[in-house]
Amino acid sequence: MMHKCNICGKEMNEVNDINLKGFMICGWRCECGNEHSNPEDVDNIVKYFKALKNGVEATVFKSGNSISVRLPKVIADLYHLNTNLKLPIETEPGGIRLKIVRRKVEA
Ligand SMILES: [Zn+2]
């Protein structure tokens, strides 16, 4: 998809490493340094911060012989999580961290 820079008029490159409020999101970057964030990603961040006011929690439940962790939709949308995705787990003092692999840039 073509995306033109509103500053210099050149074609912008699709990127997946725009840092918006600590979230790495997709968008477009120009040689001149101008960046356009993907509106859907920005919207997901706004929804996340709204949801934070009521608390964003994972639910733990038994699933066969395993324990499942259900993530709220706002998190799934924020990180574009799909079902059957395998996320590496890192332990840290007092918690675990799900490592989310960044989306590829579509050619
Ligand atoms: Zn530009």
pTM, 2 dp: 0.78
Ligand 1 centroid distance, CA of 75 (Å): 32
Query: What is the pLDDT averaged over residues 47-52?
Result: 96
Average pLDDT, the chain: 92
Residues 54-105: pLDDT tens digits?
999 999 999 999 999 999 999 999 988 988 888 999 999 999 999 887 666 6
- In this prediction, residue 106 carries a pLDDT of 58
Ligand 1 centroid distance, CA of 16 (Å): 17
The total of other beta-carbon atoms located within 10 Å of residue 47's CB is 14
- In this prediction, residue 19 carries a pLDDT of 93
Ligand 1 centroid distance, CA of 46 (Å): 26
Ligand 1 centroid distance, CA of 6 (Å): 7
Q: How confident is the model at residue 7 (pLDDT cuts 50, 70, 90)?
A: very high
- In this prediction, residue 2 carries a pLDDT of 83
- In this prediction, residue 50 carries a pLDDT of 97
Ligand 1 centroid distance, CA of 24 (Å): 21
